[in-house]
Amino acid sequence: MKIGIDASRANSVLRTGTEWYSYHLIKELAKIDKENSYILYLDKEPVSDLKEALKHNKNFKFKILKWPWSNFWTLGRLSLEMLFNSPKVLFVPAHGLPFFCPRKTITTVHDIAFVHESILYRRKKLPSKIINFLVKLFTFGRHRADSLDYLNWSTKRSLKVAKKIIAVSHFTKSEILNHYKDTKSEKIEVIHNGYNDEQYKHINNEKKIKEVLHKYGIDVPYFLYVGRLERKKNTPNLLEAFSMLKEDYPSWPIHLSLVGSASYGYDEVKFVIEDFDLSPYLNIPGWIADEDMPYIYAGALAFIFPSKHEGFGIPVIEAMATGLPTAVSNLKVLKEVAQDASIYFDYNNPREIADLMIELYKNEDLRKDLAKKGLKRATNFSWQKSAKETLEIITSL
C-alpha cells in the first residue's frame, strides 16, 4: 500500500512538540513496517537526522514539493500533489489538512487550547492584504487571516474531512466531542504520545550532569520547568510562587530554571521577574539541544509544570523517565498521564504552588517516592507503542 505522510514538521531543525511527534512516529514506522511503501512530503531538503532515521528502510522515499511562498504550503502545494498524484492513505501528524485529500486521510489533533485561551491566539496576522482577501473569499467571509481563525477553521474542517482522527489523550478526545458536536466518537482513536526512551532514562553520571549544567550556566540546587515561557503555560504564576518561597525562606540556596523559548505574554513574565527581583535566583538558558535535556532533568531537585492547558504533556513523561519527582497542574489530562506518580496543585493558586515546592525541598522521602513511581509510570509510554498503534489505524483503512 502506498502511504503518504506530511513530513514537513518532522523536517525542522529546532523541534518542539508537534515536530518531535512527527519525527519520532516516522522514525519508528520505518523500523516496524517493511511491507508498505511511504512517500514523505517535504517543503525543503531533508535534514540530516531525518535522513539518518530512514536510511535502513528503502520503502521510505522523500518527495520535495517546491513552493515559492513561505505561507500555505499545505493548503497550496500539498493540495496540488493530492489532486494529481495522491497516495492510497494520507497521514498528516497535525490538524491542518490540504484542500484536496484522499478519501482515506488520517490526522492528529494534539489539543484545542485555542478554544479556551482564544485571546492568546488572535495575535498573529498574516502580512498581506491579498492573503486576507483570499482567506475571506475561500471561507465565504467567515474567517480572517489570523492564527485563531485559521485554527478554528482548519480544525473543524479536519474533523469533518478526515476518515480517522488520532487524539493524543482521552481528555483531548472528550474536548473535541464536547466542542465539535457533529464529530462522531467512533471516528476518533486515542493514541498516547511517547517519549525518547533511548535518551530519557535514569542517569547516574554526575560528571556529565555537572558538565551540561555548567555549559548552560545553571546553578544547583534548582527546580525545573520545561516549556514555552508564556502566559498560556502559566509561567507568571510559577514565578510568583517561587517569589513566595524565597520570601518565606530567603536563606535557602534554591534556584528556578526555566527551559524554553519566549512566546506570547513574555512581557508579563519579564514584569514579574523584575517586580519580585528574581533575576539572581533564575536560570533562563533558552532553547537547549535535545541531547543535553536528559542531564538538565537529572540535575534538578524536582520538576514543576504549572500549565493551564495541555493536550498531553510530554515533558512530564520525560521528567518521570529520568527519575525526577514531579509536581504538576491539576488538569484532567495530566492526571490521565501521570496518575499517582505526581502531586498536583491548583495552577491558579501561587500560594499552593509555593507550598508544594517548599514541601518538595524539605521532604527527601517524598522526592524518593515520587521518583520511584515516576520511573514505573513512564514505562507505559513509548514512541514504538505509538507508532505500532498508528500503523494499525493506517492499515485498517
Q: Are 2 and 39 in contact (CB under 8 A)?
A: yes
Q: What pLDDT was estimated at residue 55? A: 92
Q: What is the pLDDT of residues 342-352, one digit of tens each?
A: 999 999 999 99
- 92-101, 354-363, 365-374, range with the lowest pLDDT: 92-101
Q: Are 59 and 26 in contact (CB under 8 A)?
A: no
Q: What is the pLDDT of residues 98-157, one digit of tens each?
A: 999 999 999 999 999 888 765 555 454 444 554 555 555 555 555 555 567 777 888 999
Q: Are 299 and 289 in contact (CB under 8 A)?
A: no
Cell readout for 203 is 542517569
- 25-29, 55-59, 142-146, range with the lowest pLDDT: 142-146
- Spell out the long-range contacts of 35-40 with Cβ–Cβ below 8 A and sequence spacing 24 or more: 35/59, 36/1, 36/2, 36/3, 36/394, 36/395, 37/1, 37/2, 37/3, 37/61, 38/3, 38/4, 38/5, 39/2, 39/3, 39/4, 39/5, 39/63, 39/87, 40/4, 40/5, 40/7, 40/10
Residue 229 pairs in a beta bridge with 262
Taken in order of first residue, the domains within the chain and their CATH numbers are: 2-194+383-396 (3.40.50.2000), 206-378 (3.40.50.2000)
Helix residue ranges per DSSP H, 285-382: 293-298, 314-321, 332-338, 350-362, 364-378
pLDDT-derived band at 285 (thresholds 50, 70, 90) equals very high
pTM given for the model? 0.89
Q: What pLDDT was estimated at residue 251? A: 95
Among 294, 347, 281, CA closest to 324: 294
Q: How far is CA 276 from CA 223, 240, 307, in A?
A: 18, 8, 21
Q: How far is CA 214 from CA 160, 229, 283, 285, in A?
A: 50, 22, 11, 11
Is the per-residue pLDDT at 60 higher than 50?
yes
Cell readout for 105 is 486521510
Cell readout for 376 is 514505573
* The residue type at 188: I
The counts of H helices and E strands in the chain are 16, 13
Please give the mean pLDDT across all residues of the chain.
91
Q: Are 261 and 228 in contact (CB under 8 A)?
A: yes
pLDDT-derived band at 70 (thresholds 50, 70, 90) equals confident
Q: CA-CA distance, 387 to 39, in Å (whole number)? A: 16
Q: Is the peptide bond before 127 cis (omega within 30 degrees of 0)?
A: no
More confident residue, 13 or 333: 333
Q: CA-CA distance, 118 to 86, in Å (whole number)? A: 35
Q: What pLDDT was estimated at residue 125? A: 47
User: What's the mean pLDDT in 39-52?
Assistant: 96
Q: What is the pLDDT of residues 216-274, one digit of tens each?
A: 999 999 999 999 888 878 999 999 999 999 999 999 999 999 998 877 667 888 888 99
Among 282, 245, 272, CA closest to 359: 245
Q: In what order do the strands lie in the sheet with 188-190?
A: 60-64, 37-42, 2-6, 89-92, 105-109, 164-167, 188-190
